[in-house]
Each structure stands twice: as C-alpha cells, then as structure tokens.
Amino acid sequence: MLIPEKLSARCFPYRLDFKQPAGTSRGVLHSKISWMLVLEDENGMQGLGECGPLAGLSFDDRPDFGTRLQRLCEQFNQAEWATFDESLLFYPAMRFGFEMALRDYVQGGKRLLFESDFTLKGAPQAINGLIWMGSAGFMKEQITQKLAQGFRCLKLKVGAIDFEAELAILKALRSEFSAQDLELRVDANGAFAPNDALWKLQQLAAFELHSIEQPIKAGQSALMAQLCAESPLPIALDEELIGNTSLEEIEEVLNQIKPPYIILKPTLLGGFEAAEQWIAAAEARGIRWWVTSALESNIGLNAIAQWTATLHNELPQGLGTGALYTNNFASPLYIEAGALQYLPAKHPWDLVDLQDNL
C-alpha cells in the first residue's frame, strides 16, 4: 500500500441503528458499530474510510477491534510500516477502510473514488431487492414493497422460519411471476444441516431460482464441493471466502469446491484489490460472481457502489442505499425502478456531517 507523505490517521466509532430488527439465520440485529477512519494532510485535505466488521461473521470480529484500529492509526502516524502492513493482513475490515480512505484522499477528498458512467452520467446499476427474515407475513409485506419499487430481482433470506412456510412464499411468488419476469435468489447464510441440505436444495429448485448463497456453514469444503456437484440449484459461495487472503488459499477454495458463483464483499475480504484477486481467479475458472455490500453505512456503500460500476458485471448486484438505518449519513445514492443510481448534485457527506451525527 503506497502511502502519501505527511498524512495522519485517526478513527472513531459510530453506532448505526436499524429502523426495524434485521433477521438473519445467525440472529436478529438491532444496531451495528462501524469505525470511521480519517486520513488528513497538513493542509486539511481528508480521505474518509469505513471499517465495519460484522459481528459473528467477519474474520476480524473481536472485542478489541477498536483498540487494534487505534493502535494501527498510531503505527501509521509513526511510519511503522512493517508492523502496519503485517497488521492489515489479519484485519480485512481495517485494510478496506485504509484502502478506501487513501483512494478518497488521492482522488481529491471529494468522496468520488471511481469515475464511471454511473457517477458521471447517471447510468443505473441493476441490484436485487433484499427480503429480510421474519414471519411469513413480514416477508410478504417486504416483497410487496420491493415489487412496487420496480425490482425484478429479489433475494430472500431463508433458514430462520419454518422451511415449509418459506417454500409456500416462493410458491406464491412463482404462481404470480415467472422466472422470466422475476429473478429469485435465496441466501441461507449456512443455515442448512449437512444431513438434509441436498433435499432442501432439491425442494427449492422446483421454483426456478437463480441461485442459493451458502447453504451450509463455511469450513466443510468436501461437503460443499459435493453439494455444488449434485445440487439442481446453483450454489454461490459467500462466507466460504472469508479468511482466505493469499492467492494460494483463494485458488484452493475455488479448485476444491468448484462453485457456479461467488459473492464478493470487500469489507469481509480485505478491500477492492483483494476482491479483484478473487474475481481474476474465478473468471479464469469460468466461475461467475457479483458484489454485495455488508451493512456498511453510506460511506462504505458509496465507495463499494462506485467501484462495482467500474467492473461492468451485467448481473444484478447486492447493493442498497443504506435505508436500513435511522441515523445513516446523507448519500448521493438512490433507487429508481429497481436500480441503484448516483446523483452527483446531491453533495456527499464530509467530516463535519459525521461529527454532527455522533
């Protein structure tokens, strides 16, 4: 990582509060802590990044994350580059935060990290509408809202409520919308048990789904490889990618499991360069991919959306606008007709906005 001279680093935590509890197979989320990272030169120009590990999922989710990040800022300020670079290997969210902040600084500190037709000409990015786990009624309510917003690709979280109830929701959707009219993805977040995972995949395949993310927990490579080979429903690896940082580890995962798809979350993988390493390895093996955000604030989401637009992937991406939170920051991102768009005239936040929200 090339560091411009005379930059100083500092960080502070920010608690994001969900508008309503967000259900996953790993539990219900009410809030999330992200650490905001500021790089500043002697003239006051700043680069802004976000370090936002996910509790129970991120490779670097640990109680002393904030303390470690503050120490990393000290190493940065004292030019202890050997220790700094070594530390980043074990903290993907921090590596992403520094990469984001440096990119912002180098590009002029305007929160315009990547130029593309998305940021300069208003070109839309197709995205999926996310349906959170909950009661059958709650999930149906979300589906109605997303369809009214023009989404033609929905991603449903599965694995938390009764499986038959989830099948009934999918059946109702398919009775109204064909696979040509509405693309359906599901995400199990590793919720299926090894002994009935294949049976569940066979049941789900009846509804002409696009794919399922992470049907079983990560770390069961042989079983996951078997499921990828035998499942009538294409499998996308998500959590399986986390913690594999070297090219050798990346290639081993892809060679052993041979998934049809992989899901890229820069916060969990260590940033843009790390994600691009996964992309290159996947494409060399004929494996397709798309990008998904990981509950970042609008700071991280803005950076991820801009980067994703430069990749020219035609599949719907797993991005949003940060509308899940009651206290998110102003953003140039908005949704229209089921696509993510960027409004340059809507000035992004600066550090003053952040401090006002603490």
Report the catalytic residues.
Answer: 157, 265
Q: Which of 341, 288, 344 is nearest to 319 (CA)?
A: 341
The strand ranges marked E within 146-209 are: 153-157, 183-187
DSSP codes joined into one string, 106-152: HTTSSS--S-SHHHHS---EEBPEEE-BS-HHHHHHHHHHHHHTT-S
Burial of residue 116, with CB atoms counted within 10 A of its CB: 0-12 exposed, 13-18 middle, 19 or more buried: middle
Rounded CA Rg of the chain: 20
**Continuous H helices in 206-320:** 221-230, 247-257, 266-269, 272-284, 298-309
- What's the CA angle centered on 90, arms 93 and 319, to 5 degrees? 25
Would you say 172 and 147 are in contact if contact means Cβ atoms under 8 Å apart?
no
User: Which amino acid does the sequence have at 78?
Assistant: Q
**Whole-angstrom distance, CA of residue 322 vs CA of residue 303:** 12
Provide the Cα torsion 190, 195, 198, 203; round to 10°: -90
User: Which amino acid does the sequence have at 309?
Assistant: A
- What are the backbone dihedrals phi and psi of residue 30, each rounded to the nearest 5 degrees, phi first? -110, -25
**Structural tokens at position 160:** 């938390």
**Whole-angstrom distance, CA of residue 160 vs CA of residue 204:** 15
